[in-house]
Structure 1
Amino acid sequence: MKKQNKEHEIDIKSWLFKFRSKWYLFLAFSLISLAAAYVYVKSSNRVYEFSATLLLGDQHTGSKKAQELLNLLEGSQPKGIKVEDEIGLLMSADMVKKALQNVDFSVSYYRVNDHWLNKATDLIVEEQYKSAPYIVKLDTSHQQLVDAPFEIRILPDNKYELTLKAKDVARYNFKNHTTLEYLPEMEFKKVLEFGKPYQDKYMSFTLERAKEFDETPAKKFYFVINSMDSQVGQQQSSLWVQPLQRESRVLALSSKGSIPEKQILFLNALMDAYVANDLEEKNQNGRKTLDFIDKQIATLTDSLKQSKQALSSYRSANRISDIGMQSNISFEKLSQLEAEKSKISTDRIYYENILDQIQNGSELTQAVSPTVAGIQNPILNSLFLELSELNKQKAGYKVNATSDNPMLQVLEGKINSTRNAIVANLKNQIRSSDISLQDVDRRIARIEGDLAKQPEQERRLTDLQSQSEFIDKKYSFLLEKRADAAIALATNTTDKKVVDRATLSSAGPVNVKPNMIYMLALIIGLIIPAAMIVLMDKADDTIKGKSDLATITKIPFLGVIAHGSKSDKLAVKNNPRSAIAESFRSVRINLQYLMAESNFKVIGITSSISGEGKTFTSVNLSSELAMSGKRTVLIESDMRKPTFGKYFNTHNAAGLSSYLTQGLPLDEVIQKTEIENLDVISCGPIPDNAIQLLELSKMTELIERLKQEYDYVVIDTPPIGFVSEYFILMKHMDTNIYVVKHKYTTKDLLDQVNELYLSRKIKNIYMVINDLDYSNTYEYGYKKKASYYYV
């Protein structure tokens, strides 16, 4: 269990060594990252955050309160507002547009600072507001080129050079805020004079010198004429509205921008436009009520005058001053019926008026509620309130939703359903009024029939009096209602209130914080090379040390051979105090120690593939054994690729192949070397059947004879990954050394020798790592400090 846990542990010291060995990567990436951070800090516009608060009323203030006092809304109770709908209205494009129409953001001014980062391209660009050296006055009655940069170069003699070079430039009409066309490419350069208007078929404006401006040197200036759509989109993208707390009616408005004065002005204008829009909607409702009553009063004014004049003339002509008691009773009943008929007629006219508005396409939200005219109909009042609420919800959803939004489609269905219910209710009221009028007319006819029996003069007088009283009562009723409506309109106030005007809410820029950016850049500059080193290490499948061998094989580890010069083939002899010579001594001593209890004579040395240093290890280990006083013979059994000629002054005229095929005496194939106690048997002439030769009994006889004459027999075998000679020679060997090269041999190449070891087909095998650079590995990094002991 401990071993498994150890395998999953992270060797921090090892990773620190790997990172330290690639210190130049950390330095390079850190410098690049910090340089990029510096460019970002210098080139980014500072963006600040601004905030304001707005109170949504409870709909029991202003005109609604006055109407409650006047009992104009006795039949219904107003529903509470929905904060989400109000937020949608406040953030809507229409509301933002109304706010922008009250401020002058149609032209944006920019300056390109005179900084070394702007030598190649314009990186550091600063927006100006009331600090530019010139002012652009637009002729909004003329079309303009919008959303394109006009470069300005100030010249002597009160002149300037105007340059435009852009593609897909929009030609814009500021009267109705519409785009007329897009010009694929626009390019011109003109020298103009400050204070004089310039006009062509595309634009019309005047540039004037500013009295106060920033005199800091600049590389260049330019301005952009903004379309209303671009202004609305820019402000909407930076605007955010939310309630201070859940169920709270106080909204917190926040916005971001690079010019504090502009953003504060916009937020205040937005809140003012929202409050003014709410008051205007309420006043519009009151004005429609007054207009309706005024039309009715104008119609009755002449009728009232004529009825009174007719009554007076009739009395004078017929000298009538009083009416009998019976007539009075009849007339009183008739007068009551006439008043009731007047009331029903007025109601019917009003219902027809509302129905006509709806059927002629008038906005339902602007239709006058029946209660305002004094008609009590709870069902109709409820339907109007429900329709108004649905329209508010629709306006809220349209801010961020398209026409295909399911919620909008559901709301549209509810609105149409409510509208149809209103139409049906109005028609029912009109039919009911007609029935009531017919009933009243029948009762009036009955009374008039009774009065017909009276003298003609008295009946005529009664008719005139009834007509005059009817018109007078109707006229008084309308005057009373007009006074009520006028009072309601005069006391009308909005229930929206600005709590806190816009202020700068951030202590500094919210997008550019130099210390944090530099710290983040430094961290990124360290993370990138660290990640690269980790990825490369994980992708590197070569053997890098003893720990790698321990994870992929159970073959015992014998030692390492230090990295040295490729030209020094016989390092053990030529430089006995070198790190390579010391490595071979260590391997020789470890081998003799491990095999101390066995009488081993034959040492086989092989590897996985060519280039791992198998022959180099064989030659130097044989040399070390010979230099330790042991008579050693080295056999070159790799008869396909002989290489001993690079190490010794030997020849291949006679060798192992000659001995096995021609039967040459052993003395003729053994060659002396310059190293005492070391003889070699080269491969000889390269045969066509190397495997068959090694399988001959003469090879066994040769090994047995050499074991009697020498202390050690070292056989340099071919790589087991390429050919099969090693498996034939394996039976002659007392011990085997398997050579892997540092950062060259891949781990999968050890699969074959692992299978041999685990199946016990090979005995006494040990692993050796060749060409290991002590300064490039953590496991043996301490040995680089032993340079004092090496020469």
Structure 2
Amino acid sequence: MLDTKDFNFFEKHNSFDFKGFLFRIIAYWKWFVLSLVITFVYAYNVNIRKESMYGMESLIVIEDQNNPFFTSNTSLVFNWGGTSDKVQTIITSLKSRSHNEVVVDKLQYYIKYLKKGEYFFKDAYGEVPFYVEIDKEKGQLFSKLIKIKFLSPSQYRLTVDFGEETSASVIQYSDVIIKPVNVSGGEFSKVFKINEAVDLPFLNMKLIIKPEAFDFTNQEYYIRFDDFNQTVTSYRSIDVIADAKATSVVRLQLEGPNKHRLVEYLNTTVEVLRGAQLESKNLFANNTINFIDSTLKEMEGQIKDAENELKEFRRGKNIFELEGEASGGLLSTKLSSYDVEKDVINRKIAYYNLLKNYLEKTTDYSKLPAPTVAGIDDPNVIANVSRLIALSAERANLAYSVKNKKMFSDFDVEMESIKKVLLENIVSSKSALTLNLSLINKNIAKAEAEASLLPENKQEHIKITRKYNLKDKIYSTFLEKRSEAEIVKAANISDIKFLDPAKDIGGGLKGPKTSINYILAAFLGILIPLLIVFVVVLLDNNINNLEDIQKMTNIPIIGVIGKKNTKNNLSVFEKSKSPLAESFRAIRSSLQFMYKKQKQNEGAKILMLTSSVSGEGKTFCSINLATVFALSDKKTVIVGLDLRKPRIFGDFNIDNISGVVNYLIGQKTIDEVVQKTHIPFLDVIPSGPIPPNPSELLMGESMYEMMEELKTKYDYIVLDTPPVGLVSDALELAQFCDATIYVTRQGFTKKGMLSVVNEKHKRGELHNISILFNGFSTNVKYGYGYAYGYGYGVYGEGYHDEPIEPKGIKKIIADIKNKFIKK
């Protein structure tokens, strides 16, 4: 039945060793240094190779600038809606394609002025001593560098490298068409004069020196003609934000590599919008003026004809006689007054008919004249017409920049509701006007009936005078309205005002952020190797330190052995005072204490060394443990029982012709298979030839007899056995042993193999077992370890046959000290 203690192994195995991970990180310090060097070098190259980016900004405020000449009778101002509507309209306009097309075309920002730098071509707009004038109707070399080198203050060399190309693309900015042209290939180079027209199949321009330019001879610059639409798209990224606290304040921000270009664009985009907004604001006034001008032009001929007719009628007649009778003069004045009232009503009805026609047959209402031009003073009609024109103009502007169908549908719904209200207003107003017109007509008919009683000459004179007075009155009224419209237009100012124009006052650098790049380099330089170490630790299933063993098993650790310091396996014999030799002596002392505790002070002691797999240093440990026993004047024999893979004979320069196998099959005696070594008190029994049935031989009666005979001849018998994790031979030999040493090797033995040993120890198949930690080094990347007092100088502080030579920096410092001492 399983006990809860049986699960301790799994609990220990799954816990993460943070302390070991920290030591592992320290062990990989070279990786961190290398990673930091690489990331910092990369950050440095980014900082010097990447073009600097700057950010410029300006502030504008949107205000309701009411016209001081505005009255209810001169409602000619353009209505943008409330302040919030104005702000949103302006923000949308500043980012719209149509607006930015106007600004880019005005500034000709599709022409790039460049200067060659160490790592890239720098945008030199504002720094170059010249500018170019182009013929937009002709093609310009598209997206290819054109080199300009000034030979003198009056001449320059124009160079274009076409390479192996036989055709090039040219762009015509009048209609933004790109088409191919034939070129001769290779390098084109020609000298031109300043202000001379360049007339080439692929280039049509004129280079003009700026008035402030000086000392530019032998200087080289480049120009490039970019795509108009792409340039516009790049400037549509302008950041336009309404202030959260003051919604009428708008902040414009733009980033780019050239501060002069940014400043000029920010200020120009606002000026263009101010002009467009003022033009829209004057839309009523302009429409009214245009309508009146066309009417006045038509009436000039009519009033002139009426005046000529009146003069012709009066010629040769007595004016006093025609105008002398009081009743005739009063009647003429009354009729003229009625005619003016009738004309006013007719003009109102005509405007309503015009407005109705617009509403029913068109969708563009931006060209409607103001209702007041016809004398209409109904505030509902004036307000609705004004709002309808505003919506129509705003919708037309958004059509170039907004693809939101819902927004357009909202416009259409609102405009449709206004149209319905206006149509109802037209019906009711026309009904009232028709009634008034009928009353005026009755009055005119009554007055005309009275005039019919006058003499014929006076009747004719009244008729001609009425016509002239009506034309003159209408003409005067339109002139008055036109003057009002001109006054309103002149008095209008834009609702957009600069609070803080864009200006280069130094600074404004947005990138590359050198400090941030270096911080990021430090972060990545540490993070990358840290992740690698974490993955290595996570995937590492080897035993790397003593703590790994202690977590995996409760079997005691008998000692820690450092790395081999000799070419062969006779490390203890060749360097008997080395730290490695002291480690084996410590294990010898631990074994003697174990034997004493088990009351095995008398007689031969049999020690078995095994391991998980081949390569963990089992044979090396067997030889050197046997050596320390022999050096203490104890008769010791090493028995090579790894019959499948014999190795133990090579280090002693003896042969493997005969050995254990020969004894076990009865061919040889003990004395015949034992071979003396050059180490006093140490003998070796090699394994002999490889048998076909090694397990069966070790299980036989002969093995028992050999052990008994060896006990009579030696004080210590060291059994070098096969790996217990691969074959069962070592388990068969455990019955002869007083103690078993299980050899593990740093960075080689798998943690899972300890579970096999734990299981066999629990079952009693391996008794008096201890673990030896072999190949330990603090210089490898396995974390940390502990000496635990297992001998002298596990870490190198012990007895030495010869001094340890310093290495690396220590060696350089030692050499310098020696030189000064000699001097």
Q: TM-score, normalised by structure 1?
A: 0.82
Partner in structure 2 of residue 251 of structure 1: 250
Distance 1:158 1:464 in 2: 76
Identity rate, percent: 25
Counterpart of 1:162, as a letter, is T
Unaligned runs of 5+ in 1: none
Partner in structure 1 of residue 631 of structure 2: 627
Deviations 1:377-435 (A, max 9, x none): 52673475267358648856964x5x3xxxx1111112233444455455545555665
Partner in structure 1 of residue 615 of structure 2: 611
Counterpart of 2:723, as a letter, is P
Partner in structure 1 of residue 817 of structure 2: none
Partner in structure 1 of residue 364 of structure 2: 363
Partner in structure 2 of residue 164 of structure 1: 161
Partner in structure 1 of residue 411 of structure 2: 415
Q: How does 1:445-456 map to 2 (within 5 A)?
A: 456=452
Count of residue pairs brought into register by the alignment: 765
Please say if residues 130 and 213 of structure 2, whose CA atoms lie closer than 8 Å, have aligned partners that are also in contact.
no
Please say if residues 140 and 202 of structure 2, whose CA atoms lie closer than 8 Å, have aligned partners that are also in contact.
yes
Counterpart of 1:180, as a letter, is I
Partner in structure 2 of residue 181 of structure 1: 179
Partner in structure 2 of residue 190 of structure 1: 188
Distance 1:611 1:185 in 2: 74
Partner in structure 2 of residue 543 of structure 1: 543
Q: Which of 46-55 and 747-756 deviates more?
A: 747-756
Counterpart of 2:102, as a letter, is K
Q: How far apart are 1:737 and its partner, in Å?
A: 2.0
Change (3 A) 1:89 1:764: farther
Partner in structure 2 of residue 266 of structure 1: 265
Q: How does 1:54-203 map to 2 (within 5 A)?
A: 54-57=60-63, 59-61=64-66, 63=67, 65-68=68-71, 70=73, 72=75, 78-82=81-85, 83-103=87-107, 105-113=109-117, 123-129=119-125, 131-132=127-128, 136-152=132-148, 160=157, 162-165=159-162, 170-176=169-175, 178-181=176-179, 187-195=185-193, 196-203=196-203
Please say if residues 383 and 421 of structure 1, whose CA atoms lie closer than 8 Å, have aligned partners that are also in contact.
no
Distance 1:452 1:213 in 2: 85
Q: How does 1:133-532 map to 2 (within 5 A)?
A: 136-152=132-148, 160=157, 162-165=159-162, 170-176=169-175, 178-181=176-179, 187-195=185-193, 196-207=196-207, 212=213, 221-237=221-237, 239-297=238-296, 321-322=325-326, 342-357=343-358, 361=362, 363-368=364-369, 370=371, 374-376=376-378, 378=380, 381-382=383-384, 384-385=386-387, 388-389=390-391, 392=394, 395=397, 399=401, 403=403, 408-432=404-428, 435-436=431-432, 439=435, 456-457=452-453, 478-504=478-504, 507=507, 509-512=509-512, 517=517, 521=521, 524-525=524-525, 527-532=527-532
Change (3 A) 1:68 1:216: same
Q: How far apart are 1:232 and its partner, in Å?
A: 2.6
Partner in structure 1 of residue 569 of structure 2: 569
Please say if residues 132 and 214 of structure 1, whose CA atoms lie closer than 8 Å, have aligned partners that are also in contact.
no
Q: How far apart are 1:162 and its partner, in Å?
A: 0.8
Change (3 A) 1:129 1:416: closer
Please say if residues 351 and 426 of structure 1, whose CA atoms lie closer than 8 Å, have aligned partners that are also in contact.
no
Please say if residues 390 and 411 of structure 1, whose CA atoms lie closer than 8 Å, have aligned partners that are also in contact.
no
- What SS class does the counterpart of residue 662 from structure 1 fall into? coil
Matched, 1:40 2:42: no
Distance 1:232 1:243 in 2: 23
Q: How far apart are 1:643 and its partner, in Å?
A: 0.7
Q: How far apart are 1:201 and its partner, in Å?
A: 2.0
Change (3 A) 1:179 1:555: farther
Change (3 A) 1:454 1:522: closer
Deviations 1:356-395 (A, max 9, x none): 4566656334444546753425267347526735864885
Change (3 A) 1:581 1:146: same
Q: How far apart are 1:5 and its partner, in Å?
A: 13
Matched, 1:662 2:666: yes
Q: Which of 130-139 and 227-236 deviates more?
A: 130-139
Q: Which of 101-110 and 614-623 deviates more?
A: 101-110
Q: How far apart are 1:144 and its partner, in Å?
A: 0.3
Distance 1:449 1:224 in 2: 79
- What SS class does the counterpart of residue 61 from structure 2 fall into? strand
Counterpart of 1:482, as a letter, is R
Counterpart of 1:145, as a letter, is L
Partner in structure 2 of residue 729 of structure 1: 733
Change (3 A) 1:361 1:199: farther
Please say if residues 631 and 677 of structure 1, whose CA atoms lie closer than 8 Å, have aligned partners that are also in contact.
yes
Change (3 A) 1:598 1:169: farther
Q: How far apart are 1:97 and its partner, in Å?
A: 3.2
Distance 1:338 1:95 in 2: 49
Distance 2:131 2:450 in 1: 90
Q: Which of 249-258 and 98-107 deviates more?
A: 98-107
For the aligned residue pairs, the C-alpha RMSD in angstroms reads 4.5
Q: Which of 458-467 and 697-706 deviates more?
A: 458-467
Q: How far apart are 1:637 and its partner, in Å?
A: 1.9
Please say if residues 145 and 171 of structure 1, whose CA atoms lie closer than 8 Å, have aligned partners that are also in contact.
yes
Distance 1:203 1:299 in 2: 50
Deviations 1:696-728 (A, max 9, x none): 243344445544554433222212332232333
- What SS class does the counterpart of residue 683 from structure 2 fall into? strand
Distance 1:643 1:253 in 2: 84
Q: 2:687 aligns with which of 677, 683, 689?
A: 683
Partner in structure 2 of residue 786 of structure 1: 797
Q: Which of 302-311 and 198-207 deviates more?
A: 302-311
Distance 2:555 2:214 in 1: 83
Q: TM-score, normalised by structure 2?
A: 0.79
Deviations 1:603-631 (A, max 9, x none): 32222222121111122222222323433
Distance 1:12 1:534 in 2: 8
Q: How far apart are 1:18 and its partner, in Å?
A: 0.8
Distance 2:221 2:293 in 1: 60
Q: Which of 157-166 and 611-620 deviates more?
A: 157-166
Please say if residues 160 and 193 of structure 1, whose CA atoms lie closer than 8 Å, have aligned partners that are also in contact.
yes
Counterpart of 2:350, as a letter, is I
Q: Which of 562-571 and 663-672 deviates more?
A: 663-672
Counterpart of 2:124, as a letter, is Q
Change (3 A) 1:36 1:240: same
Distance 1:74 1:673 in 2: 120
Partner in structure 1 of residue 57 of structure 2: 51
- What SS class does the counterpart of residue 714 from structure 1 fall into? strand
Q: 2:720 aligns with which of 716, 729, 739?
A: 716
Change (3 A) 1:610 1:201: same
Matched, 1:14 2:23: yes
Counterpart of 1:657, as a letter, is V
Counterpart of 1:349, as a letter, is A
Q: How far apart are 1:571 and its partner, in Å?
A: 0.9
Q: Which of 138-147 and 448-457 deviates more?
A: 448-457
